[in-house]
Structures are given as C-alpha cells and as structure tokens.
C-alpha cells in the first residue's frame, strides 16, 4: 500500500478567511497514476482545496498545513516565481466552466501553444505541431482546422477537451479536475471523463477529480475522499466505499443518489434526502455533521471526532462506525 | 500497490456505467461563419462610419501631402489681404488679414490639428491604460493610490487645467499635446480600470494563472485584448476632443506661434469676424467635419464591437 512514494501529500491543510475556516485539518495523499476523487456537496471546501494546491487562493485566504509536499518538494512558502514553475508544468488544472475558461479573443491553437512555449520555450512552428497533436490526443476531430478556430466556434464538450489539452500540454505529474463535467450533458460527461482516465494512464499522471456526482466517482475513481464542511469524513477505495459506506454522511449521500438496483431506476427508485443543510455546520465546535446526523452522540457535539482506520486504507471520522468494524474490514479487504 | 485492477469492480455493479458515444468522425456542428473579422464587417456595413472614415482618410492624405501641395511657408504673406474666396484662381479660399493664403493654412493646419489630436490621444491612452490596468488588476493599495491621483485630476475643470498647464510652459506643439494628454488620461484610466476589474475575475484569467503565467503576461496577453473594444471606441472620440481642445487653445492664443493650426486660423480671424467671416468659417467647417467624422467612426466602432447591437442596420 505504501510501497510507492506518494505524488502529493497533504497533511492537516487548513484554509482560513478572516472569520471562517472553510477547510479544516484535511489530509490526503495522491499516488502517481492514481485517481482520487474529492467528493462533497457545494460549500464543503473541495474547490478551495484545489486552489490551495495551485497556490491560487483568493485574496484574504490563508492556507496552513503540517505538510504539503508535491513529488517530495515542499509547496509551503513558495514564492511567486517558484509557484509559476509548478503551475501548469507540475500541477495542472481543468476548471468547471468550459464556456468561460477559454480566452475569447485568442485562437484555440494559440492558447494551447502559449503554455508549451511559456514553459518549454518551443519555436512557433514546433508549438503549432504540438498543438495539433494535443488536439488529436484529446480526440477533437479535424485538429488541423480546429487549431485556428476561436473558442466561440466550439461546443461545450469540445471546449472542455481543449482545456484538457492545454492542461496536459506540459505533461504535468498531477492534474486537478475541478468538476470538469458539471457544465456538460451526460453523454459528453462520459466522453470527457473517459478521456481524462485515458490520459491519466497514458501520461501516468495523478488525477484529483473534484465532483459532487457519485456516479462519476463510482465509475472513474480509485480512491474517494468524502468531505463535509471542510473536513474529511471518510476515505476509502472506491469499491469499498460503494460496497458499504461507514460514515453516516456517506451513507446518506449514497442513499440520496439514484441507483440501479433490483430493476429499479431513478424513475421509480427511492431517493432519501439528508435532512438539514451544510450551513448548519458553521461555528459547530464538534463534528460538522452532528446537527444532521441520525446517530449523533453527545460527545460528537463537543469535539471533532478523531479519524480512525476502520480497515487498512479505510479512514473514517465517526465514533458510531466503530460498532461494526468486522463488517467494515470484510467489505474493505474483499474489494481490494 | 495502491492501484486496483481495472477488471472487476464488485462494489460498482449497481451504479450505472455511462458510456459516451465515440466522438471521432461525428460531424462537428459549425456555427454560422463568424470570426474575428465580424467586427470589421459590421463596421463596413455602416454607411455613416464608412463615409466618415473616407473623409478622415482624405483629410489625412491632404495634410500629409501639404509640403507638395503648398511647398511655401503657409505663414508667409503672398497676396493682398482680405481676398474673398473665389475671386482668384491662385488663392481659391482667399487670403486673411495679413495676406496669407487660407487654403495653404487649411492644409498645413490640418497637419498640426490631426498630429496633436492623435499624439495626445496616443499619450493619454498609454498613460491611462497603464494606470487603469495596474489599478484594476492588482486592486488594493496600488489601486487606491492610482485612483487618488486620477480623482485629483478629475476634480479640476479640465480645460482650465489645460490652459494653466500650457500657459506655464511655453505654448508649443509638444507642450499642447502633453497638456491635452494630461487632462484626458484619467478618462481612459477609469474605463480600463473598470474593464480590468470585471475581466480579472473571469475564469480564463484564473485558468491562465493556473498555467503558471506571470502578472505581466496575464495583463498584456489575456486581459488587455478583451478590454480593447471599448478602448478603441473611446480613443476615436478622444482624438476628436483633443482636436477641439487644441483649437480652443489656439483660439485663445495659446498655441505655437510658428505653426498654423485650424484653431489659430479661427483665432486670427476673430477680430474681423463681421467683415471677413469666411476666415473663421472655413477652418471652423474643417474642425466640425473632422470631429463629426471621428465621432461617427466611434459610433460605428461601438456598434461593430457590441455583439448585442443589431447587425443588419
């Protein structure tokens, strides 16, 4: 399990604004070639975490961490110049909105080559060849023609492919995809995620997939980090998590998603919602999920529950789950 | 090994697997031909704008050709004074109170008026863009400091400030140009700052920063091209207002005494306005038409760059 050195190590990452702490003590690791999904609802701190990894936090936000290492190098305290060497080259990012993430006044080819020329100093002609290759790599039909198109001539799915081409242009070791398919319809979503998965394997990148779509997680992620109100509530291999979630929040999430089971589809299958909203976690000294939790214990409201290892590689921050460790370990080992 | 085998993933069977259709070969929908030249085409569909552009091009061509059309100094006295237009074929627009050729003055004056207009615009836009871009992009203290400077200049009546500035230093083409630029750059700075403030929040700016681009590159390559349309429109109007300011200064006698400009021609015709009104009217018409042309060009550019404006009319 720990034989390979992790590509990215995040330990106790905390992001503070003046009056709030949207991310608290978040720890996770990404290994080379692995897809880790950060799952959580809106406001759980997923995107902020991604921005913190790129050193692109909004003004007024401060990040602190016990350890924030990429490929063995400490990312904490990097100055602007050092960050520029990391961004795009080592860690690249694909954003949620393909419609607005491309510069409307530059051609697609120009935007792809810009990154390559900036980081690798290629000549204009070599960069253009590379741009066509990259467009081909992300499976855009007719790349020779498309390379001279402006973004408004491309559909949403194609724009997201272009964004991915730009992101992988410098062969980063880690790709962060922040809800890459939220703005796309379902068939395009599958294409884009298949593409990301393919590129991850071909270029042996680590991939952080930020999403709130459990279907996406189930199909494409190797490991899942479930976030709630800025903290990690559960982390497990995707199979194990879907086989038997431990944390009450994860269980609620899975129960609230359409599942194909027993011949039922989301048309007639039951969908159970989690009562309350994530806003109730604000200012809670204990577990952020306590106000919405059906199994809440008095101790939960006093201090955040410790993260414990329910099974090898399966971390959960909930005392309630310790009642059934046997089942947990059975599911966990059975799926690996 | 932390990477699980791809083969069988038992826990996920009940989670629907979505497969996308293969994209290669699928005909890509091509929107109606529209490229970067859309704005140019819309501009040339506007008859007023095209006419204005042609007129301005004619004025510029005649002004540039002045040394060949009238090789002599336009300030030299060539004939008897107060020769009315049309009385002599040699002096089609007549002569002024000192016997100087009005046509020669008009042609040479166009040189100065246009040169001052465009140079002042260039200078004002350059300073305004730098100040506005830095303030709008970085915000915070940089913005505060630059905004205060802008505010100070904007609180003063611009023409009074211009008169004072030009009166302090000796009036010359350079000092008039610089003075006009000093009173006009805050307008540009405000516009550019507003554009940058909204553009810097755009996703593509964040995406550019995520690619490791530095501030200079983001400002110049990513944001500035997007802020150009309103800037170009403003610039065309600024040329017009600079020509007017230069004329007004010349009319007040605050111009380089060694060169002739349209404003100084009006100024020298002022004393004989009732007896020889053509001396003020002819350069006046030149100013009116040029300024009108620049404003029409500005309007046409505005329509051309504005995607919401009707493209047919």
**Residue ranges of domains in chain B:** 39-305
Spatial distance between the Cα atoms of A40 and A48, rounded to a whole number of angstroms: 12
DSSP 8-state symbol, A227: E
| Among B1, B12, B210, beta carbon nearest to A219 | B12
B197 — contact with chain A (CB < 8 Å)? Answer: no
Which of helix, strand or coil describes residue B21? coil
* Terminal alpha carbon distance of chain A: 11
Q: Would you state the structure tokens that stand for residue A305, as one six-digit string?
A: 């529950």
For β-strands A8-16 and A23-30, DSSP reports them as antiparallel
A60: left (phi over 0), alpha (psi -120 to 50) or beta: left
> H helices of chain A, where?
46-54, 80-86, 108-120, 124-137, 143-146, 156-168, 186-202, 214-220, 238-243, 248-255, 325-335
Query: Rounded mean pLDDT of A72-83?
Result: 85
Please, which residues have CB within 8 angstroms of residue A295's CB and are 6 or more apart in sequence?
A248, A320
Q: Would you state the structure tokens that stand for residue A51, as one six-digit string?
A: 């921005």
A36 pLDDT tier (thresholds 50, 70, 90): very high
CATH label, A8-221, candidates 3.30.160.20, 3.40.50.300, 3.40.50.620, 4.10.80.40: 3.40.50.300
Cα distance from A111 to chain B (closest Cα, Å)? 9
| Residue A233: Cβ within 10 Å count | 28
A contacts of B211 (beta carbons < 8 Å): 87-88, 92, 114-115, 118, 166
Q: Which one has a higher pLDDT value, A119 or B280?
A: B280
DSSP 8-state symbol, B101: B
Q: What is the pLDDT of residue B175?
A: 92
Which of helix, strand or coil describes residue A78? coil
B201 — contact with chain A (CB < 8 Å)? Answer: no
Cα distance from A121 to chain B (closest Cα, Å)? 13
DSSP 8-state symbol, A293: -
Nearest residue in B to A102, CA atom: B204
B258 and B274 Cβ atoms separated by less than 8 Å: no
- Rounded percentage of chain A residues whose pLDDT exceeds 70: 89
CA distances from B150 to A158, A319, B135, B154 (A): 44, 61, 11, 6
Distance of CA B241 to the CA centre of its chain: 10
Q: What is the CATH number of domain B39-305?
A: 1.10.3720.10
**A34 contacts B10? CB cut-off 8 A:** no
Please, which residues have CB within 8 angstroms of residue A16's CB and are 6 or more apart in sequence?
A61, A62, A63, A64
A267 pLDDT tier (thresholds 50, 70, 90): low
Q: What is the pLDDT of residue B86?
A: 77
A333 pLDDT tier (thresholds 50, 70, 90): very low
A331 pLDDT tier (thresholds 50, 70, 90): very low
Whole-number average pLDDT of chain A: 83
pLDDT at A62 over 50: yes
CA distances from B159 to A18, B39, B95 (A): 46, 34, 31
CA distances from A239 to A212, A251, A333 (A): 17, 14, 10
Cβ-in-10-Å burial (0-12, 13-18, 19+) of A241 comes to buried
A45 and A26 Cβ atoms separated by less than 8 Å: yes
For β-strands A223-228 and A35-39, DSSP reports them as parallel
**A219 contacts B17? CB cut-off 8 A:** yes
CA distances from A20 to A1, A23, A27, B217 (A): 36, 9, 19, 33
- Of A300, A216, A293, A192, the residue nearest A249 (C-alpha): A293
Q: What is the pLDDT of residue A209?
A: 93
- Of B15, B99, B12, B117, the residue nearest B63 (C-alpha): B117
Tens of pLDDT along chain B (313 residues)? 344 433 334 444 455 556 655 554 444 444 444 445 677 888 888 899 999 999 999 999 999 988 888 888 888 877 777 778 877 777 888 888 888 888 889 999 999 999 999 999 999 999 999 999 999 999 889 999 999 999 999 898 989 999 999 999 988 899 999 999 999 999 999 999 999 999 988 889 988 988 888 899 999 988 998 888 889 889 988 999 999 999 899 888 888 888 889 988 988 888 888 888 889 999 999 999 999 999 999 888 888 877 655 444 3
Q: Would you state the structure tokens that stand for residue B277, as one six-digit string?
A: 């009104």
CA atoms within 13 A on the CB side of A238: 28
Spatial distance between the Cα atoms of B219 and B224, rounded to a whole number of angstroms: 6
Residues 38-57 of A with CB under 8 A from B: 54, 56
CA distances from B235 to A110, B123, B128, B238, B239 (A): 28, 11, 11, 5, 6
Cα angle for residues A220, A68, A70 (degrees, 5° grid): 60
Q: What is the pLDDT of residue A40?
A: 85
Q: What is the pLDDT of residue A149?
A: 86
Spatial distance between the Cα atoms of A13 and B80, rounded to a whole number of angstroms: 90
Q: What is the pLDDT of residue B56?
A: 93
Spatial distance between the Cα atoms of B221 and A32, rounded to a whole number of angstroms: 34
Listed ranges A56-60, A265-269, B16-20; the one with the highest mean pLDDT: A56-60
A287 pLDDT tier (thresholds 50, 70, 90): confident
Spatial distance between the Cα atoms of A241 and A247, rounded to a whole number of angstroms: 10
Residues 61-120 of A with CB under 8 A from B: 80, 83-89, 92-93, 95, 97, 100-106, 114-115, 118-119
Q: Which residue has the tokens 């016990």?
A: A66
Residues 25-84 of B with CB under 8 A from A: 25-26, 28-31, 34-36
């Amino acid at each position: 399990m720990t034989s390979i050195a992790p590509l990215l190590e995040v330990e106790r990452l905390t992001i503070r604004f003046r009056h709030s702490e949207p991310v608290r003590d978040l720890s996770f690791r990404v290994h080379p070639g692995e897809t880790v999904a950060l799952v959580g609802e809106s406001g759980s701190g997923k995107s902020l975490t991604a921005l913190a990894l790129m050193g692109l936090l909004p003004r007024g936000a401060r990040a602190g961490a016990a350890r924030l290492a990429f490929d063995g190098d400490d990312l904490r305290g990097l100055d602007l110049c050092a960050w520029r060497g990391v961004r795009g080259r080592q860690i690249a990012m694909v954003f949620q909105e393909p419609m607005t993430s491309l510069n409307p006044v530059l051609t697609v080819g120009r935007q792809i080559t810009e990154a390559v020329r900036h980081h690798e100093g290629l000549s204009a002609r070599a960069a253009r060849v590379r741009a066509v290759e990259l467009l081909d790599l992300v499976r855009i039909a007719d790349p020779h023609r498309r390379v001279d198109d402006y973004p408004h001539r491309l559909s949403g799915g194609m724009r997201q492919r272009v964004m991915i081409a730009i992101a992988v242009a410098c062969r980063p070791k880690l790709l962060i995809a922040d809800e890459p398919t939220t703005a796309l319809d379902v068939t395009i979503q599958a294409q884009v995620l298949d593409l990301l998965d393919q590129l991850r394997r071909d270029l042996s990148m680590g991939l952080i997939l930020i999403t709130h779509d459990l279907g996406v997680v189930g199909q494409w992620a190797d490991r899942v980090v479930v976030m709630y109100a800025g903290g990690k509530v559960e982390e497990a291999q995707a199979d194990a998590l879907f086989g038997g979630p431990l944390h009450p929040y994860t269980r609620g999430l899975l129960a609230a998603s359409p599942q194909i089971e027993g011949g039922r589809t989301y048309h007639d299958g039951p969908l159970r919602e989690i009562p309350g909203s994530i806003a109730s976690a604000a200012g809670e000294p204990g577990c952020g999920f306590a106000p919405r939790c059906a199994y809440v214990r008095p101790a939960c409201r006093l201090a955040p529950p410790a993260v414990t290892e329910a099974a090898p590689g399966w971390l959960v921050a909930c005392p309630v789950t310790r009642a059934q460790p046997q089942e947990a370990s059975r599911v966990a080992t059975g799926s690996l | 090994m932390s990477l699980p085998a791809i083969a069988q993933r038992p826990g996920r069977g009940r989670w629907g697997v979505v497969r996308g259709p293969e994209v290669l070969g699928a005909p890509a929908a091509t929107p109606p031909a529209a490229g970067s030249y859309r704005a140019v085409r819309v501009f040339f569909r506007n008859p007023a704008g095209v006419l204005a552009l042609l007129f301005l091009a004619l004025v510029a061509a005649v002004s540039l050709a002045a040394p060949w059309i009238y090789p002599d100094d336009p300030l030299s006295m060539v004939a008897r004074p107060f020769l009315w237009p049309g009385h002599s074929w040699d002096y089609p627009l007549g002569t002024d109170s000192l016997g100087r050729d009005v046509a020669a003055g008009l042609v040479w004056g166009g040189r100065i008026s246009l040169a001052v207009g465009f140079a002042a615009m260039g200078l004002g836009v350059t300073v305004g863009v730098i100040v506005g871009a830095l303030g709008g992009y970085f915000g915070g203290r940089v913005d505060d400091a630059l905004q205060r400077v802008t505010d100070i200049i904007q609180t003063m009546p611009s023409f009074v400030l211009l008169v004072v500035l030009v009166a302090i230093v000796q009036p010359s083409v350079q000092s008039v140009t610089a003075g006009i630029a000093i009173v006009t750059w805050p307008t540009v700075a405000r516009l550019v700052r507003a554009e940058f403030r909204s553009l810097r929040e755009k996703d593509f700016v964040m995406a550019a920063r995520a690619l490791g681009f530095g501030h200079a590159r983001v400002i110049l390559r990513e944001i500035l091209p997007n802020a150009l349309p309103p800037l170009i429109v403003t610039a065309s109007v600024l040329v017009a207002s600079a020509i007017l300011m230069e004329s007004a200064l010349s009319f007040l006698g605050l111009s380089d005494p060694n060169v002739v400009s349209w404003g100084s021609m009006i100024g020298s015709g002022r004393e004989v306005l009732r007896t020889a009104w053509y001396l003020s009217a002819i350069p006046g018409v030149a100013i009116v038409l040029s300024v009108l042309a620049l404003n029409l060009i500005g309007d046409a550019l505005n329509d051309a760059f504005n995607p919401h404006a009707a493209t047919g009319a």
